[in-house]
Amino acid sequence: MGIFNKLDKPVFLKEESDVSAYIAKLTDLLPRATSDVREKIEKEIKLASIGDFGEKNIVFELKNSNMPMYVLRDIHLQHEDLSAQIDFIIVTRFYTYIVECKNLIGNIEIDSNGNFIRSYEFKGRKIKEGIYSPITQNQRHMDVLKRIQKDNQGNILTKLLSDKVFESSYRSIVVLANPKTILNAKFTKKEVKEKVIRADQLIKYIKTVNSQSKSAPSSDKDLKELAETLLNRHNSDQTDYTKKYEEIIGDIQVSDPVPLKTVALEPPKPFDNDKLISDLKAFRLKRSREENIKPYYIYNDAQMMDLVSKMPDSKEEMLSVAGFGHAKVNKYGEAILEILSKYVG
């Protein structure tokens, strides 16, 4: 380690999340909303607040780590028709960690095949359901970042070296931010188990992995340059997801606003994931045959599961789904939204 290194604590180059501003705008709209619109806005606030609360738990852990690192929160990357929203990028002297934060209600089991199964109680009923693997989701984020870095290289040799450097320098982690969540991964493979940790284990995990590195530690200068380079690749999502509610509400003025009720942090009403996925696959196959193209050109399985995870209810929201740029949304958006609408409510 360089004798001139002075960094001895975390530095946040980007701490704020777009979610906080989104929640604030939704809250401002509530007093003017009619009952049916209020219910939708309150659901949006509830889901956004759950995610934001989980990320703040990670911020707390990082700030109290006393480790030299640079931290970027809520980084949005765009590469051609691909996008990735990364919850945290943590740049340390040995590795750069790409973190996917999950603040899930209920307990999580990872079976021997790497499938994620969530169990929880809802209105007296015990619910057990499969969820899209956050490991796969975060790997997609890693792939987008790797492609961006590779395309920025000048020639074929440096492009080839870029892949090797990336694989040896970056680590993917899924962090379960809900302290009440019980993780059962005793039957899963070691390489899967090691990528999923609880928020209170994050700092210990980073220290352990760093201690096993055989590379020389990066200097303060190198750390800062890498962190700033990653921050410069951030492409802020300019989509205003509250616009749809503003258009509905318009300029209606409510003389006696209904008192705001407390938004309960309970899980949304479950729906039949298998049936929805079946419908999306059927649509994909039908359109691919009509256009004489491969089904994955319309959307691949990872993009389909991102659709199911985010359940957009407008073309604007669909732009946040992996692989859905303006051209694809304009072409397939209405038909897909019609399928999704059957499973909302």
Q: 162: which residues sit within 8 A by CB, 6+ positions away? A: 146, 149, 150, 153
Residue 318's domain spans which residues?
Answer: 271-341
- Among 174, 204, 232, which residue terminates a domain? 232
265 within some domain = no
Which pLDDT belongs to residue 333? 93
What mean pLDDT is predicted for residues 257-272? 44
- pLDDT, tens digit, for every residue of 161-193? 677 888 899 999 999 998 888 899 888 888 898
Do 148 and 81 fall into the same domain? yes
Query: What pLDDT does residue 95 have?
Result: 96
Of the candidates 241, 238, 236, the one whose C-alpha atom is nearest the C-alpha of residue 317 is 241
- CATH code of 325's domain: 1.10.150.80
Q: Could you tell me which residues come within 8 angstroms of residue 251 by beta carbon, excluding any fewer than 6 positions away?
A: none
Verify that 62 and 204 share a domain, yes or no: yes
Do residue 48 and residue 184 come from a single domain?
Answer: yes
- Among 187-196, 229-238, 264-273, 288-297, the range scoring the smallest mean pLDDT is 264-273
Instruction: Look at residue 270 in the predicted model and tell me its pLDDT.
Output: 46
- Structural domain count, the chain: 2
The verdict on 90 and 149 lying in the same domain is yes
pLDDT, tens digit, 9 for 90 and up, residues 9-26: 999 999 988 887 778 888
Both structure tokens of 308? 């199911």
* Residue 250, domain member (yes or no): no
**What pLDDT is attached to residue 45?**
82
Residue 253 within a domain: no
DSSP 30: G
Q: Which run of H or of E encompasses 328? A: helix 326-341
Region of 338 (left: φ > 0; alpha: ψ -120 to 50; beta: rest) is: alpha
Looking at the structure, do residues 172 and 295 belong to the same domain, yes or no? no
- Provide DSSP, 95-116: -EEEEEEE--SSEEEE-TT--E
Whether residue 164 is found in the same domain as residue 287: no
**Which residues make Cβ contacts (< 8 Å) with residue 284, sequence separation at least 6?**
295, 298, 299, 304
pLDDT digits (tens, 9 = 90+) for 217-263: 999 999 999 999 999 999 876 556 666 666 666 644 433 444 444 44
My answer on whether 301 and 159 are in the same domain is no
**Same domain membership, residue 186 and residue 82:** yes
